Structure 1
Amino acid sequence: MNSTPSVIVFDVNETLSDMSPLSARFVEIGAPAHLARVWFASLLRDGFALAAAGGTAQFSMIGSEILRGVLRDVDLTRSLDDSVRHVMDGFETLSLHPDIADGIRDLKSAGLRLVTFSNGSAQVAESLLTRAGLRGEFEALLTVEDAPAWKPVRAAYDYAADVCGVKPGDLLLVAVHPWDIHGAAQAGLRTAWLNRADEIYPSFFAAPDHTITALGELATQLARDSHPAHRP
């Protein structure tokens, strides 16, 4: 295995994108802000369960159906259909976390290939990066919609390696989600856990190869790994 990965693979939702504005969309339809986190956790839960049972479905479809259930007993300020549409449309308006842009440029300047890989649609990643002026830094925007299964199923990461034309060990996944780190590690990828919120990493998941609090730290850590200090 090379000392430095050749391809950096970025998760999208919450890793690149700041999803906190979606809470305001819940408030705008008359729902409490905390339902945004309940809904997103439920979306992931059912997507994972479907994948574990050998099935798959689009992120947007699962998200919309889960949202209907979450909002069913809420006194909404607009129709249920309009409310669901308003929340789901919010994915197309999200911005990058503040640490992302410079970190991406540093990794690109280091000669690394950059791709995204999301359980959501490639269009969301396209819009996010285009608005930030960073689309040109990425050679591909991958989605599990073209893979055999959702992340964290191994086949999803194998798909990413195949598309990039490298072995899994030449990929390094960057994600805020420990479940994604674990799935990637089990598939043979290297990993970097982006821990912005000073959280505790679950001991039952495979430990990340790198832990960073901002994306800009990753290029420095990789450079140090490839040029270790000389010890007499």
Structure 2
Amino acid sequence: MVEPLAPWRSKEKPGREVEAVVFDAYGTLLDVHSAVARHADRLGPLAGEFSREWRTKQLEYSWVRSLTGPARHQDFWACTVDALRFVCARYDVNDAAFIATLLDAYRLLSPYPEVPAMLRALRADGLRAAVLSNGSPMMLADAFGNAGLAPQIDALLSVEAVGVFKPDRRVYALAETRLGLPAGRIVFVSANPWDTQAAHAAGFRCLRVNRAGAPDEYGLAAAGVPSLPDLAGLAELLK
């Protein structure tokens, strides 16, 4: 169900107010569970749990490294590798070749099926599209290049430019600086409610992708943040 669009439009200001759409990458455009899904037969019935815990630890390590200061910063690939090592130890996965295969698969995550057409529709409508991600430049280049999405993206923005992970305010300011637009003329799209809340607090117009139909968090619905079950209807919504 789509929430009210009032925060995105103003009758007193004719013309397009939104000039760019900035997307989170992991979990929003790229399916973070597609790496394990490709090799689920090797993990058996616990594959889904394994993948979810890998993702949880990956984010946990990014937050802890941000909170403990610049001296503890390592890029998102290091967080991804460390998280996988932890989860493999938990599930007694010790085949080095298989672990390397999972990491290779994570570098080349699959986009959600509606994403390519959605990005083409945004471009046809004259909107700029960018990605603002925890991912390192290498991770983003590999994933979007492999998926064939790079030509539809005007900028792949990594937190490595500021040396701290989301939800630090400096990350969201990076989108304004690189696109040359104020936050109010950018729609920020994320499947992570904590990410959406942080962007909203930074002044962006936001949209939450809620693929799992999860409950509202952080008061996003009450704040007028629209929600979609996937990205197929985004271009039409922005019109």
Matched-pair contact (CA < 8 Å) for 2:21–2:189:
yes
Deviations along 1:52-98, whole A, 9 cap, x unmatched? 3433321111221222222225333613xx44422221123322111
TM superposition shift of 1:19: 2.5
Aligned residue identity for 1:180? D
TM-score (norm 2): 0.82
* Counterpart residue number, 1:28: 42
Alignment of 1:161-200 (within 5 A): 161-200=176-215
Matched-pair contact (CA < 8 Å) for 2:54–2:83:
yes
Distance 1:51 1:77 in 2: 29
* Counterpart residue number, 2:28: 15
Distance 2:31 2:146 in 1: 13
Report SS of the residue matched to 2:207.
strand
Matched-pair contact (CA < 8 Å) for 1:26–1:36:
no
* Counterpart residue number, 2:6: none
* Counterpart residue number, 1:145: 160
Matched-pair contact (CA < 8 Å) for 1:108–1:137:
yes
Unaligned runs of 5+ in 2: 1-9
Report SS of the residue matched to 2:214.
coil
Q: Given the superposition, is the C-alpha separation of residues 28 and 121 from structure 1 closer, same or farther in structure 2, using an over 3 Å criterion?
A: farther
* Counterpart residue number, 1:48: 63
Aligned residue identity for 1:19? V
Unaligned runs of 5+ in 1: 224-232
Distance 1:145 1:48 in 2: 14
Distance 1:208 1:86 in 2: 42
* Counterpart residue number, 1:230: none
Distance 2:92 2:44 in 1: 7
Q: 1:74 aligns with which of 60, 80, 91?
A: 91
Distance 1:174 1:135 in 2: 18
Distance 1:83 1:222 in 2: 43
Report SS of the residue matched to 1:17.
coil
Alignment of 1:68-147 (within 5 A): 68-76=85-93, 78-79=95-96, 82-147=97-162
Percent identical residues: 29
* Counterpart residue number, 2:233: 217
Q: Which has the higher contact order (CA 8 A, sep 6+)?
A: 2
TM-score (norm 1): 0.84
Q: Given the superposition, is the C-alpha separation of residues 48 and 76 from structure 1 closer, same or farther in structure 2, using an over 3 Å criterion?
A: closer
* Counterpart residue number, 2:74: 57
Q: Given the superposition, is the C-alpha separation of residues 8 and 142 from structure 1 closer, same or farther in structure 2, using an over 3 Å criterion?
A: same
TM superposition shift of 1:10: 1.0
Q: Given the superposition, is the C-alpha separation of residues 178 and 208 from structure 1 closer, same or farther in structure 2, using an over 3 Å criterion?
A: farther
* Counterpart residue number, 2:19: 6
Deviations along 1:169-195, whole A, 9 cap, x unmatched? 222111111011011011111111112
TM superposition shift of 1:203: 4.0
- Structure 1 range deviating more: 92-101 or 25-34: 25-34
